[in-house]
């Protein structure tokens, strides 16, 4: 019945919130503990290491990204609609899960070696799904015949720091949902 029982979930959520604004290496276990009104040692009753917190934040979101692009990939809609849906997924996550999203984008490099390799593999898997959609679109003439790696780069980088910019400019979600895909696609579509 305690109002604020310490749990893995609380620790992970609060950590993501803190990693968003000051990176993984800058936030100490003492900082996280202080924000949860406990002492650092107490955290270790719920999680085994600082690394584990990072892994929980990042890999949960990785699964969400892969699930959603797979979903889009399997729909019976045209290529342009697929790309819009993928872009909107990124905007949705950037706005509605900004803490985990920022941590994934900024702090994946602090994953321990083995986990970092897993992350990179999953990212390549994601990019390959996107590449399949793009090359399929290029065969149909639905997408401009340009180096698909450059197209993917342009799509993904502009979406990677949306959470920062959203915070700074205070744009409405539905404005972004309309305008960003348009700006990306007019460069991608013939």
Partner DNA sequence: GTCTATAGGTTGATAGAC
Partner DNA sequence: GTCTATCAACCTATAGAC
* Position 48 contacts DNA (CB under 7 A): yes
Question: Which lies closer to DNA via its Cβ, residue 6 or residue 154?
Answer: 6
- Position 116 contacts DNA (CB under 7 A): no
> Which of 92, 156, 159 lies closest to 130 in space, CA to CA?
156
Of the candidate spans 56-64, 94-102, 132-140, 176-184, the one that interacts with a second copy by CB under 8 A turns out to be 176-184
Q: Does the footprint of DNA cover residue 160 (CB under 7 A)? A: no
Of 8, 34, 141, 165, the one binding a second copy by CB under 8 A? 165
Which residues within the stretch 22-81 sit at the binding site for a second copy (CB under 8 A)?
A: 23, 25-26
Positions in 5-24 near a second copy (CB under 8 A): 23
Asked if 49 is part of the footprint of DNA (rule: CB under 7 A), the reply reads yes
* Beta carbons within 8 Å of 128's beta carbon, 6+ residues apart: none
Smallest distance, DNA to C-beta of residue 12, A: 14
d(CA 86, CA 181): 9
* Distance (Å, whole) CA 136 – CA 16: 37
Contacts of 106 (CB under 8 A, 6+ apart): 19, 23, 24
> C-alpha distances in angstroms, 172 versus 69, 102, 157?
24, 19, 20
How far is it, in rounded angstroms, from Cα 33 to Cα 39? 5
Whole-angstrom distance, CA of residue 24 vs CA of residue 123: 20
Q: Which does 176 bind (CB under 5 to 8 A by kind): DNA, a second copy, none?
A: a second copy
113 counts as binding a second copy under rule CB under 8 A = no
- Rounded Cα–Cα distance for residues 51 and 62 (Å): 16
Which of 161, 163, 167, 177 forms a contact with a second copy (CB under 8 A)?
161
Give which of DNA, a second copy, none residue 29 binds (C-beta under 5 to 8 Å, depending on kind). Answer: DNA
How many CA atoms are closer than 13 Å to the CA of 3, on its beta-carbon side?
A: 2
Q: In this chain, which stretch among 29-37, 55-63, 128-136, 173-181 interacts with DNA, using CB under 7 A?
A: 29-37
Footprint on this chain of DNA (rule: CB under 7 A) = 5-6, 27-31, 33, 37-42, 44-46, 48-51
């Amino acid at each position: 019945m305690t109002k604020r029982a310490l749990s893995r979930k609380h620790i992970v959520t609060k950590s993501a919130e803190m990693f968003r604004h000051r990176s993984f290496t800058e936030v100490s276990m003492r900082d996280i503990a202080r924000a949860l009104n406990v002492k650092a040692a107490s955290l270790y009753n719920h999680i085994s290491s600082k690394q584990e917190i990072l892994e929980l934040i990042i890999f949960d979101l990785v699964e969400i990204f892969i699930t959603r692009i797979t979903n889009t990939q399997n729909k019976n809609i045209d290529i342009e609609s697929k790309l819009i849906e993928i872009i909107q997924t990124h905007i949705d996550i950037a706005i509605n899960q900004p803490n985990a999203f920022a941590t994934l984008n900024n702090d994946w490099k602090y994953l321990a070696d083995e986990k970092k390799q897993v992350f990179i593999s999953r990212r390549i898997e994601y990019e390959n799904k996107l590449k399949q959609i793009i090359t399929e679109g290029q065969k149909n003439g639905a997408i401009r015949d340009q180096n698909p790696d450059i197209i993917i780069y342009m799509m993904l980088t502009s979406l990677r720091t949306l959470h920062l910019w959203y915070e700074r400019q205070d744009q409405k979600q539905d404005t972004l949902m309309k305008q960003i895909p348009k700006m990306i696609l007019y460069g991608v579509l013939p």
